[in-house]
Structures are given as structure tokens and as C-alpha cells.
Structure 1
Amino acid sequence: MYTLGIIGGMGSLATAQYFERLVLSTPAKNDHEHINTVILNHATLPDRTSCILENRGERFLQAIKPDFEVMNKIGVKAIALPCNTSHYYYDEFKKYTDIPVINMIEKTIETISQRNFTKACVFATEGTLSAKVYEKYAEQYNIELVSLSSEERAKVMEIIYSIKATNHIEEASFNELIARHCDKDTVGIIACTELSLIPILKENKAYTIDALDVLVRESIRYHNN
């Protein structure tokens, strides 16, 4: 009955944004042609970045494992997690279910390769960057990752957690970072679902790819198959 299971709450606003994009992107002519979806908004999941940096991954995994068990009982066709940092634990997730778990990270890198970019700059949480979540797949597709400075990484974290805490969006600051690092050769990966909430200037759009949009596309693909 249900095609898609969403394990969300990382954060809640980002999950809402993902679902909104999913609905708007689905080629439905009426209500009945939209995707039957279960959203499990587990807002109290431990912070992913803290768990990675403090080597407390088991705490996060113990908390999220029951969510996969819920999806197993419901019997969805695919599971989506609209959180880049959580994909550090992707291999563990696959142990919890036989249901396909959409790999947002790999599909994003694959899309970059298809668009013929040779370099990418990852805008993400410190957890995603420190854990090298994107590096594994970038190497497979021969994509060179361009590093942010420590000051820039700190600024991105400030922007992300400001959205989480107060819904305050620093549009100018983020677009300035994109303009500084991205061009016809280097694509900027919007690799945190909070950053997906920030409007991207027209002149920057051609040089960015939003991992959340990739997740939406792959979610619809499961619906159509």
C-alpha cells in the first residue's frame, strides 16, 4: 500500500521541505496519483554531527533502528532519509532492513559525474565533512573534492544550526560562499538539508546541485517502477 517510507526529523523543517518538493515534483494529475508515503518524524534522534565527532555512533544507531523496524512492518518499497550526515551510517542501515534505502550521497555524486563536472565543493555539517561522507563516492567517480577553509566550515555550521534553532536563513552569506568556490568546473553540493532551505541566486544555480533534489528524484523513481 505504501511506496515510500521517510525517516525524518533530522531536522523537522528539512523533512517538511523534502516532502513539499516530493509532492511538487511528482507528475500527478490528481490526489490519487501522488505517492503513498509514511513519514516518521523522529525529532529526538541524537545529533548526527555530535555522534560522529564524539565517536558515539552506537547511540544514534540504537535510536534509529526501531524506525527501520516500523518501516519493515509497514512494508514500504523504499526508505528515504533526508539528512546527509546520517548517511555516514548507511552500511549499518542496510543491516536493519531488506527494503532498499536510497543512497542520497552516491546518487548525488553520480549526477555530478553525468553533468560532466570534474570538481565539487561540499557545503555540509562538520560531521559530514570530518567523516568524509562524500569522499568514498567521489573517488569512485573521479570527482575531486575542493576543501573549504576552517573558517568557512565554521560559517557553514553557524548557518545550519541557526536554521535548526530559529529558522533564520542567512541567504547572502551562503550565496557568497557558493560564488567564491563554484564555477563551470566546480559544482557546489548543497549537502545539508537545512542548507536546502536557502534560496540560491540565479547566477549560482548553474553551479550547484542540491542533494535533497536528488533524493526527491530517486524517491519518485521508486514510485514509477
Structure 2
Amino acid sequence: MRPVGILGGMGPEATILLMQKVLAAVPAQDDADHIPLIVHQNPGVPSRIRRLIDGVGDDPGPVLAGMARDLTRAGAQALAMPCNTAHAYAPQILAASDLPFLDMRAATVRALPKGRIGLLASPAVRLTGAFQAQFDAAGLVPVWPKDDAPVLALIRQVKAGQVTAGPAGGAALRRLAEDLAPECDHLLVACTELSLLTDGLMPRTWTDSMDCLVADIVAFARA
């Protein structure tokens, strides 16, 4: 199987969750049946939220480009990044390596049903138009929360370890989903911190971009 390089550090819990989901996605009978991953877990990536929302702080792009080069040298045959917001810096990653980049946004849009899609995501995803081109091409209509503040607050609480997976975290995400659901046909969880809290959501009413990226990683590695 072909090894996939993971650009991590944009939330260590999200990187761990990605690895757990990749392991769970493979019906392995032995160690050798699992997907080979080369993980660059770099907590030194500058804050995407500070840069994209607050307009301050260092540029994450050069750091992510350096990580892409490191993973290429380490033997990865494709790159993937479990952070929707950080896809604002995909051009720098693509410029730094000739490896295929498994774009989380493209994988997600392929999995979505047609209609109005309510996004539970960092406000930076909206402000940068991270999904806009893919949504337009697929004929999807994004629907955003009327107030970004509760979503951003929950993301920051997860990053700080104040909210974790479990009943309380699931209930917090469910409240945000219930506020948005009447305005849309389907929900998209497009923040890997929020991916930790999806146990509280009703089944079959939502898609998680993390799951979509996992499917692409497994398909590439096993091709």
C-alpha cells in the first residue's frame, strides 16, 4: 500500500481522530493490512483563526509548505491535511511538493447530497470562501449560522480542552445543529474540532468532512 503523509498540528485531537478513523475503516486481519501513514504533528503551525479572522499573527503558509517538503522527503506518496480552515493555504502546499494533495473540500463535496447545506465550521471557512468554488461547481447552496460566535466559542473550548467528546460536548454541538437545521436540507460538520462531538447528532442528517477525507486516504493507499 502507498503511504499517505498527514500534515497535523492544527489540533492534535483531530490528528488522533483521523488516525483512529483510518484504522477503523480498514477490515484488517493483521498489522500489515493497515494503511501506512507518515504523520507530521507540528504544534508550531501559526493559528489559522488568528491570521484569517483576527488579521494578526504569523502566516501559516510557509510552515505548512515546509511540512509538505518534510513529508515528501520522508517517503509519502500523497499528502492530506485534517483541517478545513487550513485549506486556505492549499496553494502553498501544492507549490511545495509534486505529490498529489487529497483535498478535504473536494472529498466532502463529492459526498454531499444536492440542496442547501448548513455548515458547522470555523468562521474562517466562510470568510476565505474555502468551499465556495466546489459548492458552485456542484450546485450546492451554503447556509451559515446567523451568529458565528457560538460556533467559534465551541471550537476554542475544544482546543483548550474545556469541552471534550462525550455527552456534554455532543449536546453543545447538537444545539448548534438544531438552530441551523430548519434553514437547510443537510448539515456539514466542516471543522475537525467539531468532528470530536458528532455523537450527539441525529443519524443520516449530516456529513462529516473528516470522514470524507478518511475515505480518500484509504482509497489512495489501497489503490
- Aligned counterpart in structure 2 of residue 155 of structure 1, from 137, 141, 150: 150
State percent identity of aligned pairs: 23
Secondary structure of 1:21 counterpart: helix
Structure 2 residue 174 is matched with structure 1 residue 178: no
Deviation (angstroms), 1:186: 1.5
Deviation (angstroms), 1:135: 1.4
- Aligned pairs (5 A) from 1:81-120: 81-112=81-112, 116-120=113-117
Residues 1:14 and 1:181: Cα distance change in structure 2 (over 3 Å)? same
Question: What is the aligned partner in structure 1 of residue 209 from structure 2?
Answer: 211
Distance in 1 between residues matched to 2:28 and 2:42, nearest whole Å: 28
Deviation (angstroms), 1:64: 1.8
Structure 2 residue 5 is matched with structure 1 residue 5: yes
Q: Which moved more, 1:13-22 or 1:125-134?
A: 125-134
Residues 1:205 and 1:184: Cα distance change in structure 2 (over 3 Å)? farther
Q: For structure 2, which runs of at least 5 residues remain unmatched after alignment?
A: none
Q: How many residues align?
A: 219
- TM-score (norm. length: structure 1): 0.90
Deviation (angstroms), 1:118: 0.8
Decide whether the 8 Å contact of 1:184 with 1:207 is kept in 2: no
Residues 1:155 and 1:54: Cα distance change in structure 2 (over 3 Å)? closer
Question: What is the aligned partner in structure 1 of residue 197 from structure 2?
Answer: 198
Deviation (angstroms), 1:182: 2.7
Residues 1:35 and 1:167: Cα distance change in structure 2 (over 3 Å)? farther
Decide whether the 8 Å contact of 2:118 with 2:187 is kept in 1: yes
Residues 1:58 and 1:199: Cα distance change in structure 2 (over 3 Å)? closer
Question: What is the aligned partner in structure 2 of residue 43 from structure 1?
Answer: 43
Decide whether the 8 Å contact of 1:77 with 1:222 is kept in 2: no
Task: Specify the code of the residue in structure 2 equivalent to 1:222.
Answer: F
Structure 2 residue 74 is matched with structure 1 residue 77: no
Secondary structure of 1:5 counterpart: strand
Question: What is the aligned partner in structure 2 of residue 221 from structure 1?
Answer: 219
Decide whether the 8 Å contact of 2:143 with 2:184 is kept in 1: no
Deviation (angstroms), 1:42: 0.4
